[in-house]
A and B are shown apart, each in its own frame.
Chain A
Amino acid sequence: METESENSQSDPQLEIPATPAVKIFGVGNAGVSLLAALTTPEFSAAHLIAVNTDAASLAASVAPVKIQLENKLLRGLGTGGDPDRGRALAEEQFSTLKSACAGANIVFILAGLGGGAGSGISPVLAKAAREAGAVVLAFVTTPFECEGNRRELQAQQSLDQLKAAADGVICLPNQKAFRLIDENTSVCETFRVTGDLLVEGVRGVWQLFARPGLIQVHFADVCALVRDRHAENGFAFVEAGGPGRAREVVEKLQAHPLLDEGRVLAESEAVLVSLTGGKDLTMAEVNRVMELIKRQCGRAQIIMGAAIDAAFTGRLCVTVIAAKQNSSPKIATTRTETQGGVSANPSQRDAVMMRGTRTRRGNPKMVQPQLPLAIVSKGRFDKSEPTLHNGEDLDIPTFLRRGVPLN
């Protein structure tokens, strides 16, 4: 009986009921404090759960459910910025995490990567949630450049692990938020800005299935969008009111700093657009916004959803999530592997972390064959100093660089 129910849950893309059960986990200090922004009535249908090693942070949290990962080695001092400790702890308490996820169809994980708890626990939590039968979408930030190499590296490692463990990861590099702030912004303010951005992302995705959709976006679409892509996602949330709202929204999108003046859209491989408006939202407006986004995006695959909310009468808000195709073959293979089997065997728990290295060893040819091509194609200019122009080697035949086929 037990196994049956788990099987039926483990394929959530078919089994999601009309209103999916959503659990939002805030992991680590950053994640826990982000939860505070989600206590609005909008998110009343979601269960908020705070997970941390630091008792003080949990005590301050407003989340109804709190899980403190603790053992006596830590002496109540937290992980001390060491993700290995965080991971070890989470693995020790794997069953606790898994039972916390039980019953959820969708799990959101909010975390700030780079520290101990967020970086260490998030990947394990993602795996636990998947094993519990939920679809996992993680919203994470990576540290500012000034926070130093070590945190950067830890964040990157954790991000890779998270990508392998979760169904989708939406990553916001904090560094990008620098463009949103001016010289005089205080440190608290800056972190609040990046936090807000992440929450906006959660809200945008949340609205996709929490609101009655005119044009429904399935959670599977969202996961398909963020899966296997991205070193980072670009996302933007803009809102406008009044009669010219459609045009205004598009203008704001084009000028949005997180989208690099539309460059992110142009480079992205897939774009999710979610529109929310009041009952007075017209098809012409939807059409107008989509028309302009489509023109910007070029060859990207566009997934679009529109929802109606009475509270939005006279306003229009648009959430855009753009995914850049940036995945190396390594990540791609890792994904298919984890997708193939949701292993319930606890002895394979740490396999998530090991998979990256294992597949790299397994497929050494995947990165290799690029090399000889460049050498052959230079012909008589092989030995001469390359003619570089804007990073292009002009000695290589033009038709090769342009990829023009000669059949």
Chain B
Amino acid sequence: MFDDSNIIVGLEIGTSKICVVVGEQNADGGVNIIGLGQSRSRGVRKGAIINTEQVEEDLRAAVAEAEQMADVEIRSVYLGVSGGHVRGFNNRGHHPVVSADREISAEDVEDVLNNAKVRNLPPENMLIHFVRQHFLVDGHDGVTNPVGMLGSRLEVDMHIIHGNANQMQNAVRLVKGTQLAVNEIVFNGMAASLALLTGEQKELGALVIDIGGGTTEYVVHSDGVIRHAGVLAVGGDHVSNDLAYGLKVPLSRAEKLKIEHGSAIVTEAGKGQTISITNELGLELRRVNVEHLQRIMSLRLEEIFKLIAQELESVGLTDYLRAGVFLCGGGSRVPGIVTLAENTFQMKVALGNASTISGLSAALDQPEFATAIGLVKYGSLRSRRVRRPSIFRDTLKNVFGKVLSR
């Protein structure tokens, strides 16, 4: 019926939901979203799996939904990972150019890339991504492809994203347990930024913040490359928990209050207002002060932004964000969050939408799906890269075929 190889699936096992997005790659490499499946996640806390059985059950439900919608059979996925253990840092690799004519060859480039990967990580950690930033030839920065240039010393800056091996293997094993192959694991923040940012924005410099249920990921792009990435193990769950504690209501009720009446800023309209909490029969149990609700949420969300702002300040990237800040994830649905972020970062803030991909508008418009869509996009970029030699082989085969058929 169809060629299976151009189906790309992104899977995100999040703290609040498990999300599967199915994309179809067309002939010219573009990708079209054709299916979507999601289920409420019950076995994940702060991005880490705490109940494998429940996660497996939820995962099957989400996959089944996506398969039905896209009318395909899902065989392999690009798996998104996150959690407080994921870290990013920059590393520089050096390599002396030894050839007689000082011309930099492809082997030199390969060597310098390998050198940049040599970095002592904590033994329990595993690499997720090596992101090449720029080459330096004899100290001159900003070289994107040094092959064929003359120079005596070649260096490369890499951004290395790594995380706890066991935690990530847990997710991989779980997915494999449901008879799905894992093509690759991808850092959620990177996937989200792929979905949201256009090439121009990446060039200008942009910060993407994905406020999820249990974790908040942030990625900085500038000059077209990833400059910094990180995770805070704080998210929407913390907001609910703060509300439950501060307003003295059960967690489920706090969650509901957050969704129905939440606000990231303390509004004038909320002052002196109260919301009645009713039981299932419609009888009023007690009243909750709206100003308190808003203040608790505002403080927590502001803290998240401030921690990120501090982190960027410490690595000196604040002045590189000329395209501004882009928010996604469930947390970006909170009313007033853009204003709050603008106040904290003192720059342009926008809600991100997955504009770099086409397909189901129902999926593309929702900030929660940015990560999963980004995973599909990542997959499409990878498979395009991988496929190139096979096309070459095909042409060769054709040529020989023609010769032989004569």
Contact = CB atoms under 8 A, between A and B. Distances in A.
B65 interface: no
A378 B234 CA distance: 13
Contact of B295 (A381, A387, A406): A406
Nearest to B303: A398
B242 A397 contact: yes
B244 interface: yes
A376 B232 CA distance: 22
Contacts of A365: none
A153 B346 CA distance: 50
A33 to B, nearest CB: 47
Given A389-B307, A395-B238, A397-B246, A381 B299 contact: no
B46 A387 contact: yes
Interface in B286-311: 289, 292, 295-296, 299-300, 302-303, 307
Contacts of A361: none
Nearest to B242: A397
Interface in A379-407: 379-381, 384-385, 387, 389, 394-395, 397-400, 402, 404, 406
A380 B251 CA distance: 8
A394 B232 contact: yes
A377 B245 contact: yes
B232 A399 contact: no
Contacts of A385: 46, 84
B241 interface: yes
A28 B232 CA distance: 55
Nearest to B254: A379
Given A387-B46, A398-B300, A404-B295, A381 B241 contact: yes
A379 B251 CA distance: 9
A296 B356 CA distance: 51
B233 interface: yes
Nearest to B85: A385
A381 B251 CA distance: 12
Contacts, number: 66
B299 A380 contact: no
Contact of B46 (A377, A379, A381, A402): A381
Contacts of B232: 387, 389, 394
B299 A379 contact: no
User: Is chain B's binding surface mostly helix, strand, loop or mixed?
Assistant: helix
B295 A394 contact: no
Given A389-B307, A394-B232, A394-B233, A380 B241 contact: yes
Given A387-B84, A399-B296, A380 B237 contact: yes
B122 to A, nearest CB: 16
A387 B296 contact: no
B234 A394 contact: yes
A381 B303 CA distance: 18
A406 B288 CA distance: 12
Contacts of B289: 406
Given A379-B251, A380-B251, A395-B238, A402 B244 contact: no
Contacts of B295: 399, 404, 406
Given A381-B46, A399-B295, A387 B234 contact: yes
Contact of A398 (B48, B84, B299): B299
A395 B295 CA distance: 17
Interface in B169-211: none
Would you list the 7 A-B pairs with minimal beta carbon distance, nearest first?
A397-B242, A398-B299, A387-B233, A379-B241, A398-B300, A398-B303, A406-B292
Interface of B: 45-46, 48, 50, 84, 232-234, 237-238, 241-242, 244-246, 251, 289, 292, 295-296, 299-300, 302-303, 307
Interface of A: 376-381, 384-385, 387, 389, 394-395, 397-400, 402, 404, 406
Given A384-B46, A397-B241, A397-B245, 17 more contacts: A376-B245, A378-B241, A379-B244, A380-B241, A381-B237, A387-B234, A389-B232, A394-B238, A395-B238, A398-B300, A399-B246, A399-B299, A399-B300, A400-B245, A400-B246, A406-B246, A406-B289
